Amino acid sequence: MSCHRPKLSFSLFISILAVSHFAGAQPSGTKLPPDRQEAAWTVEVLTLAKELKLTDEQTAKVAIAYKYHRKTFQEAVLKSVGKNPNDRTAAIQEITDLRYREVSEFELFLKSVLAEAEVKTAIASLGTFNGQWDNMVDVILGFKLDEQKQDDAMRLIKPYIEASSKAQDKAAEDMDIEALRSQMQKLKQKLEADLAPILSPAQMDEWKVKTAARRLTAAAPVTGAPQAAPPGEPKPPADPPKGSK
């Protein structure tokens, strides 16, 4: 598998990274409503599909599998919360393992519908299961831009998510939280400079408020992982290949 299993070095640092990775989306720590979350996931897949020039059939299969594994991961995290209330390391390790399992199975599914190079590209973004991406996409959708501007904005956000996820992985290996803060700030500043020609001044002000990153501190709770799962049981992808649920 090309997806990376984060190494648990010590509980505090991984707690910080886990909360940043899974919940860095919303300043308030709240979760998007199910319909807006579903819309964000759809756009994330469509952004990738346009980049890779996927067929409609490939895009549909990827979207079904992506949403299924995102929902399955969310529900599994919710079930795990509270199992280890006095052991932060164990709680974060469980979340890490759950994500690794779902991303691995999602990647296996992708190998049945995409070429090897396309799978690698897809996992670099979709495989992050990144709540911050969901939130950023949701904010852009809320602006109701014309199709070209919206597509341009989504194309800028995707590499930001890929780069920020890599920065978090590297910070986990180096155990350097200050370097992570600095790198994340630089990445966000570049993204906003790139978005400036697309958004109006008022929209940019709103963007900055709604996408403000949480400060990476030891006070961030383990429950910063997804706060609520969509109602109902997730349905597996139609005719899933071996390795997918």
Please provide the DSSP assignment of 1-13 as one string.
--S-------HHH
Q: Is residue 179 part of a domain?
A: yes
* The pLDDT of residue 16 is above 60: no
Helical residues (DSSP H) of 53-176, grouped into ranges: 56-80, 88-110, 116-125, 131-143, 147-174
Q: Residue 221 pLDDT > 60, yes or no?
A: no
Mean pLDDT (the chain, rounded): 80
- Cα-based angle 25, 148, 62 (whole degrees, multiple of 5): 55
- Whether residue 99 lies inside any domain: the answer is yes
Task: Pick the closest to residue 138 from 218, 17, 3, 44 (CA basis).
Answer: 44
Q: What is the pLDDT of residues 205-216, one digit of tens each?
A: 999 999 997 654
Mean pLDDT of 174-191: 88
pLDDT at 13 over 80: no
In-domain check, residue 41? yes
| pLDDT tens-digit readout, 223-233 | 334 433 333 33
- Asked if the structure places residue 229 within a domain, the reply is no
pLDDT band (50, 70, 90) for residue 37: very high
Nearest to 4 by CA among 85, 82, 107, 76: 107
pLDDT for position 200: 98
Return the number of other C-beta atoms located less than 10 Å from residue 101's C-beta: 16
> Residue 99, by phi and psi: left (phi above 0), alpha (psi -120 to 50) or beta?
alpha
Mean pLDDT of all residues in 219-243: 41
The reported pLDDT for the residue numbered 33 is: 94
Question: Is residue 27 one of the residues assigned to a domain?
Answer: yes
Q: What pLDDT is recorded for position 91?
A: 77
Report the pLDDT value the prediction gives residue 17, as an integer from 0 to 100: 52
Residue 56 lies in a domain: yes
Q: What does residue 218 show for φ and ψ, rounded to 5 degrees?
A: -70, -15
Question: Looking at residue 168, what is its pLDDT?
Answer: 82
Q: 95, 22 in Cβ contact below 8 A?
A: yes
What value does the mean pLDDT take over residues 95-106?
A: 92
Range of the domain at 151: 11-213
Domain count, the chain: 1
Of 82-86, 99-103, 239-243, which gets the smallest average pLDDT?
239-243
Rounded percentage of the chain residues whose pLDDT exceeds 90: 56
> Tell me, what's the pLDDT at 215?
55
Does residue 163 form part of some domain? yes
Average pLDDT over residues 53-57: 98
pTM of the model: 0.79
Cα→Cα distances 238→64, 185, 208, 235, Å: 8, 41, 39, 9
State the Cα–Cα distance between residues 179 and 214, nearest whole angstrom.
Answer: 16
Q: Does 124 map to a domain?
A: yes
Half-sphere exposure of residue 41: CA atoms within 13 angstroms, side-chain side: 23
Measured CA to CA, the distance from residue 165 to residue 187 in angstroms comes to 11
Residue 3 has pLDDT above 50, yes or no: yes
